[in-house]
Amino acid sequence: MWTEQASGSGTRRRRERSPEEELHTTQDGWWQMTLRALRTLLLFSIILGLSLLLWGYVFQGCGPSPCKTSVCQDLLDLYLASGNTSVAPCTDFFSFACGNINRTGSPFQALAEENKRRVRRILETPGSWRLAPGEEKAFEFYNSCMNMSAIEAAGASPFRQVIEELGGWSIFGNWTPLDFNQTLSLLMSQYGHFPFFRAYLKPLPTPPYLPVIQIDQPELDVLLKQKQEPNYAQILREYLSYLNRLVTLLGGDPTKVGNDASYSLFINSQLNQFLRPGEQQQAQGKVFEMVTIDQLQVPRAKGWGKMGIKRVAPAIDWLSCLQATFAPMSLSPSYRVAVHDLEYLKNMSQLIEKDLMKHRDFLQSHIIFGLVKTLSPALDSQFQEAHRSLSQKVGELTGRPPMVRTAGEEFFQPVHPRWMTCVEKTEAFFEPTLATLFIKETFKPSTHSAAMELFTTIKDTFISHLHTVPWMDRETRAEAQDRLTQLQVKMGPSEWALKPDPARQEYDDVQLGPSFLQTFLSCVRSRQARVIQGFLQPFSSHRWQVLPWGLKASYSIPDHVMVFPAGLLQPPFFHPGYPRAVNFGAAGSIMARELLHIFDQLLLPGGCPACDTRALQKALLCLERLYAALPSPKGTSFNVSRTLLEDAADAGALAIALKAYKKRLVLFRGETILPNLDLSPRQLFFRSYAQVMCRDPSTQDPQDIRSPPTLRVHGPLSDSPAFTTHFRCPQGALLNPPSRCQLW
């Protein structure tokens, strides 16, 4: 039934419902609400499922997958061979990563040798390269060096000819004494031999960074310091035996050389007493002093020269010797040279004046003995074997194994194969040619772009990281950020290794033959001439060069340029196909360390007046105590205060490289790991960092400014909270100390 109800000006009709209809309507409403709830739940489930699927694609899809390429397999083999996984990583990570280093050797040493093998392959396949006129002489020199049958057939005859050019030898009975300074000039300019001091061209390390002649202590054959050597008498006997053998090889009578050999030992011993370690020079604040040639020169009257200047080393005719060595440079008495140890020159000069000039025949013998060592790579193998045997025996008696310096690093190397000697000498004499060929062979565009990308990430991370350095004031922080922003980097080759160079293309002054020794000496003179000509060119383009096969990154202060040589950016430290964790942990930490060294001055006393000195000193002291609390390897000792700058760079480099790696993971997915190593990506990062430091701790030089390798691993890791987290180090473990430092 319908009823009408007034509503304003109109009417509205309403139908009354029965109880059954009301119940049915209520049920329909409930059902509609249930359907809406189910639809909402279904929609939410779909969205959740899609979200989980998307999360799995983005995050799980970029999760670690095994790298199965050949370069990764080679790296895995190295890690498995060098490490000792039975050691707890939180207690001794060095042994965990490097416990079998005696079996695999230092990765730096292995890489240096591999770079030599790369150069060897270049030199043994000349037909593979398009050579400019004259460049074939590099390959001819190498072949002559490897032709040991011809060198053995010549025997000592080529060297006996050199002795005649120096006036002969009393032991041979045909000596015509030359003036001492005339002999010294010949040795320095024609034979590259510096028996009493070294003289070389190099830019000064202080403004205005001009190239200058520098005079330094000599590199003596055997260090004879009686008070410091418990087996001093036995060392003397071995050295006398060696000198007797040289005389026999040269065709002389060893029974007539006793006094000459004894006097040579006396000279060596005296010069050793005068030597002052570079560390001591730095401690005294006298790395070098600028003096004029006139101040070193032979005086016209005894004692004092012009204007009351006392002569430092009057026994040497400095002007004539240096002019002969560095011609065509024009030198004068007023020319200023950099002397690294004036006291040494003074004592050396007095020794020559008081004792040696009275025994010129003995002095001549000493010079000839030393010249044999300098020219030994070009002589009969018996000369090389004699010196190698001496080095080995002296090493056994002193407890210091014979070391060789390769690519800027020092390594133990008991055997030096002939091909490696020939490669090193060819590199030295034909450096411009081989530098270009080495770059073409080893540093592809993909390697260059990947290395630049890595460096840019490290540098940008460091710039942003400066905001967290607690002791740095705002102005210093801004200046540091500007310096990093303006820094130039040369990744792999420098311009000089890529641009055509007339000296590289011609080598007109290199004469090959008739004997290998004469070829060798011609190359010695040619190289010296190129060095001098380079320094006479515009200063900016010839200030410094980094060898592409080297392993040491370099920073030029005046140019504000950092160079990472191609030889360093190779496996096992870097490869475009490596897991990012490896590249950031190894090469990335090396790059970060070099960047930090730019700011070493800030850490020195008074180096940052505006900084929070108290906070800086607190952080330095904290780091010093952190390293002092770590156990040193047996048989090694080090001075924490001496290694502090390097320790700071190591710890800071690890933190910056790790931060950069995390940043990279956020931006890019698809991380890989090394299979069968059972390490997560972040664990692999720390493992790769440690691998860079792997070397035998017993080979550590006591004068090294870096900590022993065990501490270079344990120090930074114990200062890293992330290491403790990712390796789940328990409280009280060696590498989980109760407190940490923040210097960088």
Query: Which tens digit of pLDDT belongs to each residue from 200-212?
Result: 998 887 777 778 9
Is position 503 within any domain? no
Instruction: Kindly state the average pLDDT of the residues 550-579.
Output: 93
What would the two tokens of residue 368 be?
């000839």
> Which contiguous run of DSSP H or E holds residue 3?
strand 2-7
Q: What is the pLDDT of residue 513?
A: 87
Q: In whole angstroms, what is the distance from residue 671 CA to residue 65 CA?
A: 7
DSSP string, 343-362: HHHHHHHHHHHHTGGGGHHH
> Which contiguous run of DSSP H or E holds residue 365?
helix 360-375
Q: What is the pLDDT of residue 360?
A: 86
| pLDDT class of 44 with cuts at 50, 70, 90 | low
Q: In whole angstroms, what is the distance from residue 572 CA to residue 554 CA?
A: 20
Q: Are residues 340 and 208 in the same domain?
A: yes
DSSP code of residue 467: G
Kindly report which listed range (485-494, 620-629, 635-644, 656-665) carries the lowest average pLDDT score.
Answer: 635-644
Q: Are residues 51 and 77 in the same domain?
A: no
Q: Are residues 355 and 447 in the same domain?
A: no
Q: Are residues 297 and 389 in the same domain?
A: yes
User: In the chain, how many domains are there?
Assistant: 3
Is position 181 within any domain? no
Q: Rg of the Cα trace of the chain?
A: 35
> Which contiguous run of DSSP H or E holds residue 38?
helix 19-55
Is position 472 within any domain? no
DSSP code of residue 56: I
Q: What is the pLDDT of residue 178?
A: 84
Q: Which of 378, 377, 373 is nearest to 516 (CA)?
A: 378
Q: In whole angstroms, what is the distance from residue 203 CA to residue 207 CA?
A: 10
Is position 150 within any domain? no
Q: What is the pLDDT of residue 290?
A: 92
Angle between helix 180-190 and helix 516-536 axes, rounded to 10 deg: 90
Q: Are 170 and 192 in contact (CB under 8 A)?
A: no
Tell me which residue has tokens 């074939």.
136
* pLDDT beyond 60 at 299: no
Kindly report which listed range (133-147, 543-557, 706-720) carries the lowest average pLDDT score.
Answer: 543-557
In terms of phi and psi (left: phi > 0; alpha: psi -120 to 50; beta: otherwise), the region of 432 is alpha
Give the residue numbers spanning the domain of 32: 2-60
Domain end call among 349, 377, 403: 403
Q: Are residues 714 and 617 in the same domain?
A: yes
Q: Are 447 and 641 in contact (CB under 8 A)?
A: no
Q: Are 371 and 162 in contact (CB under 8 A)?
A: yes
Instruction: Kindly state the average pLDDT of the residues 562-578.
Output: 96
Interstrand relation of 672-673 and 65-66 (parallel, antiparallel or unpaired): parallel
Query: Which one of the listed residues 594, 646, 647, 671 is annotated catalytic?
Result: 594
Q: Are residues 17 and 84 in the same domain?
A: no
Which distant-in-sequence residues (6+ apart) come within 8 Å of 735 by Cβ? 89, 90, 91, 93, 714, 717, 718, 723, 724, 727, 729
Tell me which residue has tokens 């440079």.
329
Is position 24 within any domain? yes
Is position 537 within any domain? no
Q: What is the pLDDT of residue 90?
A: 97
Q: Are residues 203 and 95 in the same domain?
A: no
Q: Are residues 10 and 74 in the same domain?
A: no
Domain end call among 380, 403, 426: 403
Q: What is the pLDDT of residue 401?
A: 59
Q: Which of 229, 234, 239 is nearest to 264 (CA)?
A: 239
Q: In whole angstroms, what is the distance from residue 593 CA to residue 555 CA?
A: 12
Q: Which of 560, 703, 465, 574 is nearest to 111 (CA)?
A: 574
Q: What is the pLDDT of residue 280?
A: 47
Q: What is the pLDDT of residue 226?
A: 53
Q: Are residues 301 and 391 in the same domain?
A: yes
Q: Are residues 210 and 335 in the same domain?
A: yes
Interstrand relation of 10-15 and 2-7 (parallel, antiparallel or unpaired): antiparallel
- CATH number of the domain to which 580 belongs: 3.40.390.10
Share in percent of the chain as helix, strand, coil (round to 5): 60, 10, 35
Q: What is the pLDDT of residue 31?
A: 62
- The tally of CA atoms less than 13 A away on the side-chain side of residue 553 is 23
| pLDDT class of 131 with cuts at 50, 70, 90 | confident
Query: Which one of the listed residues 380, 647, 650, 719 is annotated catalytic?
Result: 650
Domain end call among 351, 381, 403: 403
Q: What is the pLDDT of residue 520?
A: 98
- CATH number of the domain to which 308 belongs: 1.10.1380.10
Is position 328 within any domain? yes
Cβ density class 664-699: b for 16+ within 10 Å, e for less = bbeeeeebbbbeebebbbbbbbbbbbbbbbbbbbeb
List pLDDT tens digits, range 211-262: 899 999 998 766 555 555 678 888 888 888 999 999 999 988 888 888 899 8
* pLDDT beyond 50 at 306: no
Q: Which of 7-16, 83-92, 298-307 has the highest mean pLDDT?
A: 83-92
Interstrand relation of 561-565 and 554-556 (parallel, antiparallel or unpaired): antiparallel
Is position 554 within any domain? no
Q: Which of 14-18, 312-316, 326-330, 479-483 has the highest mean pLDDT?
A: 479-483
Q: Are 680 and 64 in contact (CB under 8 A)?
A: yes
Q: In whole angstroms, what is the distance from residue 481 CA to residue 485 CA?
A: 6
- At 493, the amino acid letter reads P
List pLDDT tens digits, range 651-689: 999 999 999 999 988 777 778 999 989 999 999 999 999
Q: Are residues 304 and 369 in the same domain?
A: yes
Of the two residues 499 and 79, the one the predictor is more confident about is 79
Which distant-in-sequence residues (6+ apart) come within 8 Å of 127 by Cβ? none
Q: Are residues 461 and 389 in the same domain?
A: no
Active-site annotation holds for 594 = yes
Active-site annotation holds for 508 = no
